[in-house]
Structure 1
Amino acid sequence: MEDIAQRIIGTWRLVHSIRVNSAGETEYPYGEDAVGYIYYSDTGIMAVQISRKSRGAAENLARLKRDYLAYFGRYEIDTEKRVVRHFVEGQLFSGDHPEVLERAYRFDGDRLSLTPTDGTHREILWQRVSKQSKDE
């Protein structure tokens, strides 16, 4: 059986963050040019940041909330349910995210698809940048 824990460890660059609305149209919550990284350590720590690339100066917090996502914490992998759970310990805006975020995972070559299990029609697609070595 494949060792999912070893496959997920490392740094991943955002390919896209999409949402499919009720009309079946694809939306890009952080823009089509969004940038971001997610990192999973071999010690069970994760961090993620996604930003609208073409954002201007944040003149108010409401705009920043639409333009930037960031949180970190511990994570665990449930291979039976094929989900990774993010235990949010800190986030850009307190209360934006629940304490536990569950994402269905799927690998396709050097890509990792994370899909929230909350019933929303979203996908966050990542491409591997590096794999963490045991010496890091």
Structure 2
Amino acid sequence: MTSIKNELVGTWRLLSYIEVPIEGDDSLFPMGKNPYGILMYSPDGYMAVQVSKDERLLYKSNDKMMASQEEMVSSLQGYIAFCGKYKVDNRNAVVTYCIESSLFPNWRDQMQHRKIDFEGDVLYLKSTEPILSNGIYVNSYMTWQRMDRSADEVVDKHLLREISLIKN
């Protein structure tokens, strides 16, 4: 039998992120309808996830430490990031995150659990208990697709874009 951990190990790109209020209200898209995200699971039991809104404000100063109040709010509210150890419960198909660092400081040293389901190279993760988001309790649903390009291909793509910008 293949363990779920073996199936998780690797890098995943976000396809969708939806929050469903537990009160039954309409679904929410806290990072917009076209969020960007990367989720990585290492074989030694560490994970990292980063999710961002596509529409975050750019800093006028071009200095990451010098932002207006509006830019800081856009930056913070438009980004989710945490990392730490993970453990898989094969019997219940649940992954537990032991969060060691998080953009949202209240999650540090906390545990979160996600129900796991696979469909080919697509990974579905659902929170197992409600999370407080924008003043209401929600269940989060994230859909990920396994990355199939090598790191060299990604770097080459960005280098080609930089060369194109220089020439123009």
Global fold match (TM > 0.5):
yes
Counterpart of 1:126, as a letter, is: W
- In the alignment, the residues of structure 2 paired with residue 42 and residue 69 of structure 1 have an alpha-carbon distance, to the nearest angstrom, of 23
Q: How does 1:54-73 map to 2 (within 5 A)?
A: 54-57=55-58, 59-60=68-69, 61-73=72-84
Off by >6 Å, runs of 4+ in structure 1: none
With over 3 angstroms needed to count, the CA separation of the structure-2 counterparts of 1:37 and 1:94, relative to structure 1, is same
Q: How many residues align?
A: 132
Counterpart of 2:12, as a letter, is: W
Q: Which residue of 2 aligns with 1:43?
A: 44
Runs of 5+ consecutive residues of structure 1 not aligned to the other structure: none
Q: Quick check: 1:89 aligned with 2:100? A: yes
- In the alignment, the residues of structure 2 paired with residue 64 and residue 72 of structure 1 have an alpha-carbon distance, to the nearest angstrom, of 19
Alignment partner of 1:118: what SS? coil
Whether contact under 8 Å (1:69, 1:92) holds in the other structure is yes
- In the alignment, the residues of structure 2 paired with residue 59 and residue 110 of structure 1 have an alpha-carbon distance, to the nearest angstrom, of 41
- In the alignment, the residues of structure 1 paired with residue 109 and residue 56 of structure 2 have an alpha-carbon distance, to the nearest angstrom, of 26
Normalized per residue, the structure richer in strand is: 1
Runs of 5+ consecutive residues of structure 2 not aligned to the other structure: 59-66, 131-137, 151-168
Percent identity among equivalent residues?
A: 32
Q: Which residue of 2 aligns with 1:107?
A: 118
Whether contact under 8 Å (2:83, 2:102) holds in the other structure is yes
- What is the deviation of 1:20? 2.0
Computing the radius of gyration over CA atoms, which structure comes out larger, 1 or 2?
2
Counterpart of 1:20, as a letter, is: V
> CA-atom RMSD, angstroms?
2.1
Counterpart of 1:16, as a letter, is: S
With over 3 angstroms needed to count, the CA separation of the structure-2 counterparts of 1:92 and 1:121, relative to structure 1, is closer
Alignment partner of 1:27: what SS? coil
